[in-house]
């Protein structure tokens, strides 16, 4: 059973995604990697108060001193934390919010049209 599940998973992982969903939204990405400058950048993008930035930096410094646990019987390759984007946001966020509001109004109208009160 376990080998059968593994084979199914490997087969699915090798196939191209075929269901058509695509989220083609232009994004603003922070550079890959995690360091204090990236944390400051993220905090500034989110307009966070200074106490929040200090809290994040303190947590990051603590995290840097920690060792990754190895007590679980899980085998995976080492994680390259410097090969990850830690911030991504849509470039035209206000435009996307506006689309979301109009879509909500359209759905409300359709619901009413189907079920008049």
For residue 117, the model assigns a pLDDT of 47
Residues 52-101: pLDDT tens digits?
999 999 999 999 999 988 888 888 888 999 999 999 998 876 665 666 66
Residues 2-59: pLDDT tens digits?
777 778 878 888 888 778 777 778 899 999 999 999 999 999 999 999 999 999 999 9
> How high is the mean pLDDT of the chain?
83
Residue 32 has a CB neighbour count (10 Å cut-off) of 13
Distances (CA, A) of 98 to 25, 37, 45, 102: 15, 32, 20, 6
Evaluate if pTM is beyond 0.75: no
């Amino acid at each position: 059973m376990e080998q059968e599940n593994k084979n199914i998973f490997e087969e699915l992982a090798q196939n191209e995604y075929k269901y058509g969903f695509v989220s083609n939204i232009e994004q603003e990405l922070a550079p890959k990697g995690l360091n204090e400058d990236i944390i400051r950048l993220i905090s500034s993008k989110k307009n966070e108060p200074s106490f929040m930035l200090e809290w994040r930096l303190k947590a990051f410094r603590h995290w840097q001193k920690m060792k990754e646990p190895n007590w679980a019987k899980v085998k995976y390759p080492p994680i390259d934390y410097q090969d990850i984007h830690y911030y991504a946001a849509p470039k035209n966020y206000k435009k996307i919010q506006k689309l979301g509001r109009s879509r909500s109004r359209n759905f409300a109208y359709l619901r009413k049209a189907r079920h008049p009160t």
